Chains A and B, each alone.
Chain A
């Protein structure tokens, strides 16, 4: 495998960096070369957050070229759209439908654009889109903060990742505090099963 690129995108505080670390750790467990980019500082104050996970022998840089994403893992619809330049018709988009209103919209008394509009725009890059009710599933797992792990479960179920499900679970066990582990495993499963049963509603 030359390279496998995932971009995770969302809003500060959604657990994106942890999700990226889990994916990177899973790859490392299988002896693969990996790069995980994180940007800290201002980005965590409710701003947009993007992390790249790159797997493959020849991977050196922490970011990758436009159009080269294999998977776009979107934690928030508008932010998914913001990273769509990394996608091409080969990219699979896995996106949470949970919206977080940018204060700019509130201030201008504008409503958040409809999910349909957003999906239409993504479609100009790729038609492989899976919408996950991540917030609902996270609540069902017992903690709204496990949205990130729901999405990891969804990603695993697509079988796109070049690593085994078990390695991802192992990484999860290593990186999530023990007292939250059960909830997180449940979140992973809920995301996984959701995609297995998924029927596109586009």
Chain B
């Protein structure tokens, strides 16, 4: 999508090719959702990013909240004033918001409230593969699961309606292959947003002290009963195909449903298919009747056997003799990693004793031959990335001998050689807290490494903890002035809001001082000498210290220069080069390459950051502007 403004077209029945996430953004506009909050996280980012570009024009309020918990709390409050609200995040983001979410289910809402969670099977850009359908089970919340872009839009609208009907927040669970797949979407009508809410004091419902929580739990369970009734007749829970023989029935949802249908066709199976769009609470009667009609049932789902467990429980009451196949007891499908048409074809073929339509073995054998000696190409820090300079400084100042807990963001890539800085991370903000634990029991120099957006998201309580308990750690904040990893969203340190309005710039160094840190310095990582000296001094400090490495993300620099038509600097290797390979050995910049056994610079990639020039012992690298 070149221009999010196209989402604003008041053109019912128009057919557009949208990313799942863009489709949700369109759904937001069609549903009249008026408040959108988020903390950016792949694969959910484009939902709020699309809204961010058009919010003012659409009359929607959007914000990049400081973290997911705050995002949900803001949306919970606006929804409780009767304003339709949505909060979007990645799957692990919901862990951050879980404290608010589970109790919000007790409190309930007045205006529609949708919480989007985007799961990431295969960990394309995440630290785990958790299956967030269990949050619906845990919190007793309705959960809708689209399988394509059209449904992503439609279900956003339905989620709001269901939320208002039941006075409960509704989870909309997507995943990478739904969020990041484009498909045709037929537009519906736009609904004018309404930002005007009213707060009605309702202590019994909203003041969840134990005396009020107990009865609200009962209220929640009643609402859940109603949700179950609704699930029985909801259009998204439906039998898509009926088999002629009645032998085989397949139950599936979300992206797994797409693989299931294509696999059934590839194997030419006569199967009924029950597609579930609302996966919590499940339509017990509908499933029960479906089980009764078949001899064999196959549950096709991604990650955990969430549906299978419940279908088996339903079978006990409705059809105790039906055979149910999936991934429990005998695993026909993998429980880890991403599903694919191939994994489903293989599993289904085993269950139905069919021959495979494709000789996968032969392909695998030939492919293994190709993969031999094929160099990998994992993501790396971009050419000219300021983090590379920071890591180089950190390594130089500590001789590589400290411990370096790091955090979530581009800089997590610093663990790769040759820089090899970064000893692991757990979740947002874990660098600062883990550093304290490590230093406590090892006594080693410990440098926590964190980005600017992550600092605001989750480091402040940890930093206060370091001050209060006097942990001798150093926190290196790699401040590239943006949330680079997820697509360059603003944050409190950038001085601009999600609506594009200039705002108060919150300075990391001031926050650190406010937390009580006595040694706080700001350096430019490309000034290697100075920065190294400062970091060494910080490590000498008796209590916690903070060094902010500030320099903008290289991608932003290049984009800015291109936009302005300015020249791009490129560095060149001159005759003085002795081919000592120091630049290549020390930095790992992708623009530094080997040409006929000699160090060289790829002009198309180099942005002239000059880091290699400052590393070269023979001053053999010169930087110049090119047109």
Contact = CB atoms under 8 A, between A and B. Distances in A.
A102 B377 contact: yes
Contacts of B584: 106-107
Contact of B382 (A45, A58, A109, A125): A45
Contacts, number: 172
A103 B410 contact: no
5 contacts: A28-B184, A36-B183, A40-B43, A42-B124, A67-B363
A65 B341 contact: yes
Contacts of B4: none
Interface in A33-82: 33-48, 58, 60-68, 78-79, 81-82
Nearest to B185: A28
Interface string B572-597: 00000000010010001010111001
A165 B525 CA distance: 49
Contacts of B262: 58, 60-61, 65
A129 interface: no
Given A78-B377, A102-B375, A102-B377, A63 B17 contact: no
Contact of A47 (B375, B380, B383): B380
B418 interface: yes
B1 to A, nearest CB: 8
B380 A106 contact: no
A18 to B, nearest CB: 9
A125 B369 CA distance: 11
B200 interface: no
- Chain A: interface residue count, which band? 35 or more
B355 interface: no
B182 A34 contact: yes
Contact of A41 (B42, B258, B340, B369): B42
A151 interface: no
Interface of A: 11-12, 20-21, 24-25, 28, 33-48, 58, 60-68, 78-79, 81-82, 84-85, 101-107, 109-111, 121, 124-125, 144, 174-177
Interface stretch (B173-181, B442-450, B499-507, B512-520): B173-181
A157 to B, nearest CB: 23
- Chain B: interface residue count, which band? 35 or more
B15 interface: yes
Contacts of B196: none
A47 B378 contact: yes
Given A11-B377, A62-B181, A65-B266, 16 more contacts: A21-B1, A28-B16, A28-B17, A35-B183, A36-B181, A39-B124, A46-B380, A47-B379, A60-B262, A61-B259, A62-B258, A63-B177, A65-B358, A102-B376, A107-B417, A110-B375
A61 B258 contact: yes
A125 B365 CA distance: 11
B370 A121 contact: yes
A63 B367 contact: no
B379 A34 contact: no
B403 interface: no
Contacts of A65: 262, 266, 341-342, 345, 358
A192 to B, nearest CB: 23
Contacts of A67: 358, 363
Nearest to B376: A104
A65 to B, nearest CB: 5
Interface in B264-278: 265-266
Contacts of B42: 40-42
A24 B182 contact: yes
Contacts of A44: 379
Interface string B43-74: 10110000000000000000000000000000
